[in-house]
Amino acid sequence: MDELDTAILRHLQEDARQSNRAIAEKVGIAPSTCLERIRLLRQRGVIRGYHAQVALPALNRGVQAMVAATVRPLSREVVAGFEQSVSRLPEVLSVYTMAGNDDFLVHVAVQDIEHLHAFLLDRFTNRREILSFRTMIIYQHLTNPVLEPLPVPGPGADLTR
């Protein structure tokens, strides 16, 4: 990743629908060069896809929560089974496999508090592998819309900063 790739990525993250010609103009290169750079970024797996960001309330998903879950026995089979089954639930946005006190963090979005309660009772309390879970309501969800590469520390770099 060089500065040109980073600039192209920044513009794609800001608006992936803009034309190749517009991006090339903004970064000061020929459209053919820009197209080749984007192709190589996709080929290297830097660009994994393009998607539409939707407003969850418009999809009748006005309440979001994080559900921290602990499972037992902690085995590869139990972890894989939990990941696969929970990630397929329509209320689930993301499943994070964690280290620490919780084994999973499950991001859910539902219609309202009553549906969240029903989701927890119907989908979590009846799972035999769940030792415990706790729920945290999300008031606001902010994301960083443009990510850039972080610097790679050189030998002898001070990593405490």
Q: How far is CA 151 from CA 1, 125, 157, in A?
A: 11, 44, 11
Residue extent(s) of CATH 3.30.70.920 domains in the chain? 56-138
> Which architecture characterizes domain 3-43 according to CATH?
Orthogonal Bundle (1.10)
Measuring CA to CA, which residue among 104, 70, 111 is closest to residue 87? 104
Q: Tens digits of per-residue pLDDT, 39-92?
A: 999 999 999 999 888 999 999 999 999 999 999 999 999 999 999 999 999 999
Q: What is the pTM of this model?
A: 0.83
Residue extent(s) of CATH 1.10.10.10 domains in the chain? 3-43
CATH code: domain 56-138 is 3.30.70.920
